[in-house]
């Protein structure tokens, strides 16, 4: 009995569809009618789909995924909405930027149906409406930006288009998830000018880098010379200090040696026969000096008694005895003072 009733309902449903005049059916309705399942009383709705059911021409309910029952003849499946994410290709269109550059731009729109009732009765063709809205929004957003900002702010442009589409498509039960620009075509002249600009920018960077390299090289050379001069001056200073220290030590060593020699000479002269030894040393120095005459210069001044060696030695010893006498006088005066005191006392006693 149930099978017979289902067959009768299906035949009536098919006859009602065939009897409907084609002049009253739009292309969108024809597309929806080609996808609509038949009312077989027992229906199985697939996952991520929503079937909109009308009872006697009026909205009745939305079938959930799984097992569902409908009344034949009275209930009719009017719309089938997919709840999956839908990808729509936005065709290429022309748009004018803020600096009056005509661009050919296309994109891809990703959307999802959130409310099957609004998507079915809010707009005739949701996909067509969203496509037209995306094109108009894209043109209006591109008109706010210059050509350079279109390439730099591509992500912000996509976000603005998504925001504008969601504000208008809220009444249709559709939510735009994201929008991506696929390609941007430029006029040939604009493309050539941009290429020239890129080449000029690269040449500028190359020139700047080369100048910076030359400057760094000059700075490095100057720093090297400065460090070399500093090191050289420090080395020369250290050398002079070492040389002065060596000379001072040499002078001190010579002075100490000379003082020791003088001390030893004075001690030797104070001994017995010291004058004879001094006379012999003076005679030797005189003969040595006389043998070196006329070796360094052609002009020589000689005394009248050059051959009188004994006279020269006697003269040298006379000079030595004359220089040594002032040193001996204070000692003699000191020894005579204690001798005068007794005579004074004796005179007073007498």
* 88/173 same-domain check: yes
Q: What is the pTM of this model?
A: 0.47
d(CA 269, CA 272): 8
Distance between CA atoms of residues 22 and 126, nearest Å: 22
**Domain co-membership, 43 together with 88:** no
When mean pLDDT is compared across 67-71, 294-298, 338-342, the lowest value belongs to: 338-342
Any domain includes 233? yes
E strands, 56-200, are 58-63, 66-69, 75-82, 86-96, 102-113, 174-185
Last residue in a domain, options 212, 239, 269:
269
Which one of 269, 284, 308 terminates a domain? 269
Containing structural domain, residue 259 = 187-269
Residues 93 and 149 in one domain: yes
Domain identity same for 90 and 181:
yes
Q: How far apart are CA 76 and CA 78, in angstroms?
A: 6
Answer yes or no: is 5 within a domain: no
Closest CA to 39 of 15, 75, 90, 91: 75
Residue 289 domain flag: no
Q: How far is CA 181 from CA 4, 105, 150, 178, 210, in A?
A: 55, 7, 11, 10, 39
156 and 104 in a common domain: yes
What pLDDT shows up at residue 255? 87
> Helix (H) and strand (E) counts for the chain?
9, 8
> Residue 291 is encoded by which pair of tokens?
């043998």
Q: Is residue 23 part of a domain?
A: no
Question: Rounded distance, CA 350 to CA 341, Å?
Answer: 15
pLDDT in tens, 22-72: 333 344 444 444 468 888 888 888 888 889 998 888 888 888 888 888 888
- Of 153-167, 234-248, 249-263, 268-282, the poorest mean pLDDT is in 268-282
Which DSSP category does 122 fall into? Answer: S
Residue 139 lies in a domain: yes
Query: Are β-strands 49-55 and 174-185 bridged in parallel, bridged antiparallel, or unpaired?
Result: unpaired
Is 50 in the same domain as 116? Answer: no
Residue 314, in any domain of the structure: no
d(CA 193, CA 196): 5
**Same structural domain, 37 and 61:** yes
For residues 5 and 73, give the distance between their C-alpha atoms in angstroms, rounded to a whole number: 10
Q: Is residue 27 part of a domain?
A: no
CA angle 36, 39, 40 (to 5 degrees): 130
Of the three residues 246, 269, 292, the one that is the final residue of a domain is: 269
Residue 310 resides in a domain? no
Q: For the segment 112-126, what is each residue's pLDDT rounded down to a tens digit?
A: 888 888 888 888 888
Please tell me the total count of domains within the chain: 3
Q: Same structural domain for residues 93 and 156?
A: yes
Residue 187 φ/ψ region, left for φ over 0, alpha for ψ in the -120 to 50 degree band, beta for the rest: beta
Q: Which of 92-101, 130-139, 145-154, 215-224 has the highest mean pLDDT?
A: 215-224
Cα–Cα distance for residue pair 276/272, rounded to 1 Å: 9
Least confident of 107-116, 192-201, 221-230, 281-290: 281-290
Coil vs helix vs strand at 175: strand
66, 45 Cβ separation under 8 angstroms:
yes
Does one domain contain both 73 and 96?
no
Q: Are residues 129 and 212 in the same domain?
A: no
d(CA 231, CA 178): 68
Is residue 219 scored above 90 in pLDDT? Answer: yes
Distance, in Å, from the CA atom of 147 to the CA atom of 90, rounded to the nearest integer, reads: 21
- For residues 100 and 134, state if they share a domain: yes
Tokens of 46: 């697939």
Q: Give yes or no: residues 42 and 135 share one domain.
A: no
In Å, how far are 123, 157, 185 from 149, measured between CA atoms?
Answer: 35, 9, 15
């Amino acid at each position: 009995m149930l099978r017979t009733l289902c067959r009768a309902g299906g035949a009536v449903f098919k006859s009602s569809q065939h009897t409907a005049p084609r002049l009253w059916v739009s292309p969108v309705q024809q597309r929806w009618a080609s996808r609509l399942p038949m009312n077989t009383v027992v229906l199985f709705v697939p996952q991520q789909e929503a079937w909109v059911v009308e009872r006697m021409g009026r909205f009745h309910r939305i079938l959930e995924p799984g097992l569902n029952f409908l009344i034949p003849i009275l209930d009719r499946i009017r719309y089938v909405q997919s709840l999956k994410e839908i990808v729509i290709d936005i065709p290429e269109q022309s748009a004018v930027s803020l600096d009056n550059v005509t661009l050919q731009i296309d994109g891809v729109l990703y959307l999802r149906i959130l409310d099957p009732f609004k998507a079915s009765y809010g707009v005739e063709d949701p996909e067509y409406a969203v496509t037209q809205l995306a094109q108009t929004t894209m043109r209006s957003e591109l008109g706010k930006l210059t050509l350079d900002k279109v390439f730099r702010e591509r992500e912000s442009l996509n976000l603005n288009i998504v925001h504008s589409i969601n504000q208008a498509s809220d009444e249709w039960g559709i939510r735009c998830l994201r929008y991506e620009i696929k390609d941007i075509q430029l006029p040939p002249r604009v493309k050539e000018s941009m290429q020239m600009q890129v080449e000029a920018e690269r040449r500028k960077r190359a020139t700047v880098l080369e100048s910076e390299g030359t400057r760094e090289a000059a700075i490095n050379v100057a720093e090297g010379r400065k460090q070399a001069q500093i090191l050289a001056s420090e080395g020369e200073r250290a050398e002079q200090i070492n040389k002065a220290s060596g000379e001072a030590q040499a002078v001190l060593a010579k002075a100490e040696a000379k003082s020791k020699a003088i001390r030893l000479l004075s001690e030797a002269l104070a001994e017995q026969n010291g004058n004879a030894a001094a006379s012999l040393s003076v005679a030797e120095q005189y003969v040595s000096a006389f043998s070196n005459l006329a070796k360094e210069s052609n002009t020589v001044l000689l005394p009248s008694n050059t051959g009188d060696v004994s006279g020269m030695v006697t003269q040298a010893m006379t000079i030595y005895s004359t220089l040594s006498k002032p040193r001996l006088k204070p000692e003699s005066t000191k020894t005579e003072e204690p001798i005068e005191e007794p005579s004074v006392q004796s005179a007073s006693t007498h």
